[in-house]
Structures are given as C-alpha cells and as structure tokens.
Structure 1
Amino acid sequence: MSDALLSKTDRLEIGADEYRLRRERVFRLLAEREIDALCVFGPTRVAYLSGFFFSPTERPVALVLTADGRVAALLPNLELSHFQQQGPKLDDSAMYPEYPGGGSGRHPLLFLRDLLSRLGALGKKIAADVDGYEHRWGYRGPALSAVLEQPVHADVALIDDLRMVKSAAEIALMTEACRWGDHAHRLMQDSIRVGSEELLISHGASLQATRDLLAELGGRYVPKAREGLPANAMFIRGSNTAHPHGLHEAGAVALGDVLVTGAYGVVGGYESELERTMIVGEPDAEFQRYFAAMLAAQQVGFDALRPGRTCAEAESDVRRFIRDELGMDDLVRHHTGHGFGLEGHEHPFLDLDDHTVIEPGMVFSVEPGLYVPEFAGFRHSDTVVITVSGMEQLSLYSRELDDLVVAG
C-alpha cells in the first residue's frame, strides 16, 4: 500500500475514538466530583485528552472540559491551524494574538477568563491540573485562581491517574517503540570499538536506527514532536557510570571501560526504555561480582510485580534483597523504577513511599542499580507491562553478560 493510500487506522498513533473515550471519562469524573469545569495546562495532558501535540513555549495553551460535556481551548493564534489539524472539534475557543500580549494589552490568561465566563463556569467549581501555566521559556503570569478571583482546585492526579493504566492501543505503540529501542542499541553495541568516540557512536547509531525505522514503517510512522529522533541510543563510560545520570564525556572508549547504555524508541508519542551494563574487554572478578548482583536484583524486581500488590511492596522486595542477600544497600542511589508512556517518567513509582496498587495494563521500567564510587555503575533497565498474573517484558535485548562484552 502506498503512503498516499494509508488510512488513519493504519497509522501508528492513537485514534480519534480513543481520545473521545478519554474525554468522556473526564466528563464523568467531573460530574461525580461536582466540578463544573476543568482547565488542563500540562502539554502532555493536553495531548493525552485531545490528540493535539505541540512544542510548548512561553505561549499558554489550555484545554477546557466541562461537566456537561463541552470541549474548549485557549490557543495562541500561531497554534490555531495546528490544533484544527490534530485536535477535536471545539464547542468554544479563545484566541490571543501573542505572548505577553501582542499589542492587545491583555495577558493570555485574561482570554481564558473570558472563555470560562462564556461557558458559564465563573463563580462555580473550577479545577485544573496546575493553578496556571507552567513557567517555561521566559513566561511570567499569575495563578489562574488570581485571574479568576476565586479558588481553583489544582490536582495533577485528576488526569494523571487516568494515564496510569494503558489501553491495548497504547501498549501496542510502546511494544513497537521497544522494538526500535532494541534495534538502536544493537547498532550502537556493534559499532563500539576501543578508540571509538562516545558521542559519535551514540549519535551515529541513533541516526541509522531512525533511517531503518522510517524505511520500514514509511507513512505508518507519525512524528509527534519537533525535536529528537524516533530511535535513540547512547552510553557513558568508565567511572562516570558511577553517577546514575552521568553526562556525556569527550574522549575515546578504552580497554576495561564499563559502559552503561540507554536506548529508546518513540512511536505515536509513546516511549520505551532499555538500559544495559557492558564491559570493554574481558570482565574481571570485581566486575562480574557486581554485574551478577545487579542482574539478580533486577530479577527480584520482575518477580515482585503483580496485580494487587503496591509499588512500595515491590520496591521493598528489591531493597530487602539488596540489603540482606547482597549486603550492598550502601550502593543504592535510586528506587527500582517508574511508570512511563507519553513521558519518560510518569506516576506511579516503584518506591518505598508510593502505595499505588499495581494493576494490569500499567507499564514500568525495572532498573535497580548499584553504584560503586570511583569504579562503575551497574544498571539494566527494561520496559515491562503488568499482566493479570505478573508482568511481561516488552524490551527483549539480552540481559546476560556473555552478550554484553565489547571486544577489546
């Protein structure tokens, strides 16, 4: 089938019907909580509910949903045609010329106040994900409650709780994203040599993986961002890996370097996550000891995930194993994992203080790490989906040491 003849159902993205069902869930939630209108400012939350993906800037965008089922939006003029191309039909809208005013003499949130007035929401119960637009790219603005001169119930959980359990369509997109994250990692691993430049190998593999993705998927692939590539891989090396989020360093790969990698795909706006610990040349006894400990801890994390347990209970299993069986609790720097989907990190978290109940359809990273100061970090991360009885890995790259040795 030629790209020109592809129907929207063939494209790798969430369809209009699912976006409509998401908004209907919000309408019911508003009615149950006796909330008259909800203002959604977070760009990812706007996209989740409307299908409108955009590049967030200093110009506020807000989606407004009302308990009686109306959909409206605050938009800068420069995004109007973009919203019309992607988003649902609106019952009302407020367009402003520019930020901070574009000659209108009015802050954009005053246009939102006018919109809420037309919707009959002023003076009634209004909620929002956050109390006003986030401060990015030089934006300055008042809280929504100050503009409206009334309380606003601000709660990110109103939308983010709905995002925790993924639909079949979301899981399919993330499964495809995992496939391309795995592919990017393979290209990168196969390109690493002693003397390789860390940055050049990382970016070269990402570009080649993206070329492969576009060649295979063609018009089925629908980009959802202005920045970044659909398939990505990177690594850091040596003692820098002892920092869980160490930055890139200039220089070349050397014999004996420990490598901690990261790779992911993005399909339909949904991400994957894959990380591996590798070694350049033959691993010595010290490396093998920590690698085996990390691998065992990750397996405990896999085994801990099943419906009905809490995130804290799963994390407790991992931390208990690292403390009591490995005697390495002092090498832990972070929790075992996190949810994700449209964002690289999403609620909930596999953390001792997150008591969210695990449900089928949730997607997590599982990535307990051990960090040995001035030596190296040891961390695998895999994308998993919760099933009715446990979990299933979506990232399929080998976890075993024999497959993660780079020839010296």
Structure 2
Amino acid sequence: MTVHSDPLEIGAAEYLLRRERVFSALQQRGLGAYCVFGPTRVAYLSGFFFSPTERPVALVLTAAGEVHALLPRLEVTHFQQQCPELPNLEIYAEYPGGGEGRHPLTLLQGLLTRLGQTGRVGADLDGYEHRWGYRGPRLSELLGWPVQADVALIDDLRAIKSAAETALMREACRWGDRAHRLMQDMVEVGAQELLVSHGASLQATREMLAELGDRYVPKSREGMPANAMFIRGANTAHPHGLHQAGAVTQGDVLVTGAYGVVGGYESELERTMIVGEPDARFVQYFGAMMAAQQAGFDALRPGRTCAEAERDVRRFIRDELGMDDLVRHHTGHAFGLEGHEHPFLDLDDHSVIEPGMVFSIEPGLYVPKFAGFRHSDTVLVTEHGSERLSLYPRELEALTVSPV
C-alpha cells in the first residue's frame, strides 16, 4: 500500500489565520474594508496563485470578517479550485470590458458601495498594477474619497515566517543546493554558460519531482522548481550581470545563483567560484568576501535593527578590509514568496529584526574589469541569533573547479 504524506504547501487553516490578522488590523485602524491588488499579497491571504495579466484581480476584506474576490471570468474555476472556502465572487467578462461597456474596477466600486463602505477604505495600492498594457482609474477616483494605500498592513505580516513557511523554505534550500551541485559538476573549460545553467536546472527538477512525487504542488505556470545559473569572467563585476554567449575558459571567475521553490516559497544560494588554480589576487578578494559575509552572519540578531546590522558589515568592510569602494549594494534582504521582500539590511531600514524573519546574507565586493565576489545564503533569525538554511560549501577549496 502506498502512503502519501501531506502536500508541501500552506494549509487552509493558516490562510484563515492570516485573514483574521488582517480583520483585526482593520478594526484597530478604524478601516471598514481593505482592497488587495498585489498578486503575491492575494496569494498570501487566500492561497490563490495565478498568472497576473492585464485583467484585474483583487480581494476585499472587511472589518466584519467578510472576504470577496474580484475576478475575470477566465479565472473563476481556477479560484474555486484553490479557494473553495471563499464563495463571494464579483465576476467580470473581460478586460477592457468584453462588451459590457464598463471597466472591471467599476464592479469593485459597486461591491464596496453594496457593502456600505463609503468612507474608511484601505488598500495595498490605489488601484490595479499597470502591467501588460493595463490602463485604469485609481480606486480613489472611482470612490470619490481618499483611499489609505499602505502595503505594510500585509507585508509586515509576511516578514515573520510561520513554522509551516520555514519548513517549505528549508525544503526549497535543499533543492537549491542540489541544483547548484549539479551545475558545478557540469562546469568545465569549453562548457556553454547557458546550456550548463539550464541543463542543471532541468536535471535538478527531474530529481526533485521524482523524490517528492505528489507532495510537490506547483504554484506557477512558468519556470522550474529547482534552478541554477552562473555568469563568468569580468561580467561578474556587475552585481546583476546578464548571461553572455560563449564558453567557459580557464581562469574564469564564476558567480552563481541557485534556488528552489516549494509551496510558492523560495530559497537563495550564491557562490563565487574559480576555474583552475586561483592566483593571489583572486585569493585576496575571495578571503575578504568570506570575512564580510561572516560579519553579516554575526550581525544578524533579534532585537537589533536592520540598519544596525548593516552598519556592522559596512564598518568591517571599511575599517578591517579597506574595501568600502568595492561595495555596490546592501548586505541582504528578506524573502519568501518573492525573491526580495521587506525588510532590507540597509543603512536606512530601521525595521527591528525578529525571530522568524528570513534574510539573504550577501555582502559583495566588485572589482572593476576583474571580477565580482559574492556568496549568498538563506538565513533564519532565531530567538538567540541565526541559522543558515542553505548548506552548500563556502570554502575556496570546495569551489575551485577543475578545468577538465
């Protein structure tokens, strides 16, 4: 007899708890209703994962505990499949109108009016996001009164991960690590940057699906659940350098990126590697980068602010390494359902670090016309410090690639 374990996704009870926290926040703020347009926020509160297009999708949560969804007709059965416990739907034919002669957001206006919400309305955004050719009015224009637009009401909840979210991210880290291993094993002189990256991602995905079976629940229609890539040479001196055509050569510096996606939650893993024996210049900058990342691990503690943690790392790079001129970005960022989320380890982010937050720790050093040096790890803030969830080797010996 085959035993099926629970699927790797957030359950209905946790989505209900999230909505109840929003209901409570609305009551505390004196808001009658809150409109949610951001696709990731919609998914966070409802479990409805979808492909965002020009067609507006929105949730309306009321202080009285009601939930309504604005949907295009093409998403109705999809929503009902994922969110059977949310039956209140406001359905429009198509965008821009589908022959109805009215913009989809006018249905949202009518819904709020029927609900008696004629004053204190909040939203993550004052209208639908402009994507894929969408044009439309601000929600405040339709309602005729100001809308309290505030992404923090939901995004502050998202910042602290639950035990279920952390478990999904641990699993995502496992497969990000595996994808990176496969990629590193494929790298050799003459290998094609794009082919190795995509080949390793596909092989890792095959292994992931074979092992997890029906426990794995896809949450998107694009991309693979296990991914790895790299850029090479002087291109790595650009923190977000694009892929380049051509083959790996001896002496190339590689900066990699790998991640898994489980239940919609991502991991993050980046490493700096070298093809062939490293020279003294590479060893110097690699060691400096490793020391800066360790300073980041040490700085990430609950009760401090993000700015204080960043200040420690920048001070170390400036005073101990003398390399402040090689810094191009802050130490890290939170993430989960998205690759970057609030808050940020930045000198101007004064958010308090709390247990349950998950950050990347990735201070980088970028030497123009030579190479970039950056490791990134997924790190969970604990009650007394932090825990690294991505477990791929960090040391130079393990990241030196044989040229043949």
Compute the TM-score of the two structures, normalised by the length of structure 1.
0.98
> How far 1:248 moved relative to its partner?
0.1
Q: Aligned residue for 1:54?
A: 50
Q: Distance in 1 between matches of 2:90 and 2:188?
A: 56
Q: Is the 8 A contact 1:181 1:233 kept in 2?
A: yes
Give the partner amino acid of 1:361.
G
Tell me the equivalent position of 2:61. Answer: 65
Distance 1:321 1:127 in 2: 42
Output aligned runs, 1:233-272, within 5 Å: 233-272=228-267
Secondary structure of 1:80 counterpart: helix
Query: 1: distance between equivalents of 2:216 and 2:156?
Result: 28
Greater than 2 Å deviation, 4+ residue runs: 88-93
CA shift for structure 1 position 115: 1.1
The match for 1:82 among 62, 74, 78 is 78
Of residues 373, 376, 387, the one that matches 1:378 is 373
Structure 1 position 394 matched with structure 2 position 389: yes
Decide whether the 8 Å contact of 1:50 with 1:88 is kept in 2: no
Deviations 1:321-370 (A, max 9, x none): 00000000000000000000000000000000000000000000000000
Q: Which residue of 2 aligns with 1:95?
A: 91
1:88, distance to aligned residue in structure 2 (A): 4.7
2:220 paired with 1:225? yes
Partner of 2:100: 104
Q: Is the partner of 1:398 in helix, strand or coil?
A: coil
Aligned equivalents of 1:382, 1:91: Cα separation in 2: 41
For 1:337, the equivalent position in structure 2 comes to: 332
What is the alpha-carbon distance in structure 2 between the residues aligned to residue 324 and residue 386 of structure 1? 26
Query: SS in structure 2 opposite 1:127?
Result: strand
* Equivalent residue, structure 1, for 2:112: 116
Counterpart of 2:124 in structure 1 is: 129
- Measured in 1, the distance between the counterparts of 2:304 and 2:184 equals 36
* 1:257-406 correspondence runs (5 A): 257-406=252-401
Q: Deviations over 1:230-274 (max 9, x none)?
A: 000000000000000000000000000000000000000000000
Secondary structure of the 1:11 match is coil
State whether residues 93 and 115 of structure 1, in contact with CA within 8 Å, keep that contact through their aligned partners in structure 2.
no
Which runs of no fewer than 5 residues in structure 2 stay unpaired? none
CA 1:91/1:150 → structure 2, altered by over 3 Å: closer, same or farther? farther
The amino acid that maps onto 1:372 is V
Distance 1:50 1:125 in 2: 23
Alpha-carbon separation, structure 2, partners of 1:389 and 1:159: 26
Query: What amino acid does structure 2 have at the position aligned with 1:340?
Result: F
Distance in structure 2 (CA, Å) of the matches to 1:42 and 1:350: 23
Letter in 2 for 1:385: L
Cα deviations by residue, 1:351-407 (Å, 9 ceiling, x for unpaired) = 000000000000000000000000000000000000001000000000000000000
Contact 2:80-2:87 at 8 Å conserved across structures? no
Find out whether 1:34 has 2:30 as its counterpart: yes
CA distance in 2: counterparts of 1:147 and 1:91, whole angstroms: 25
Shift of 1:124: 2.0
CA distance in 1, matches of 2:36, 2:399: 44
Quote the offset at 1:148 in angstroms. Answer: 1.0
**Greater CA deviation, 149-158 or 273-282?**
149-158
1:76-225 residue pairs with structure 2 within 5 A? 76-90=72-86, 92-121=88-117, 123-225=118-220
- How many residue pairs get matched? 403
Q: Which amino acid aligns with 2:90?
A: A
CA RMSD between the two structures: 0.9
Identity fraction in percent? 78
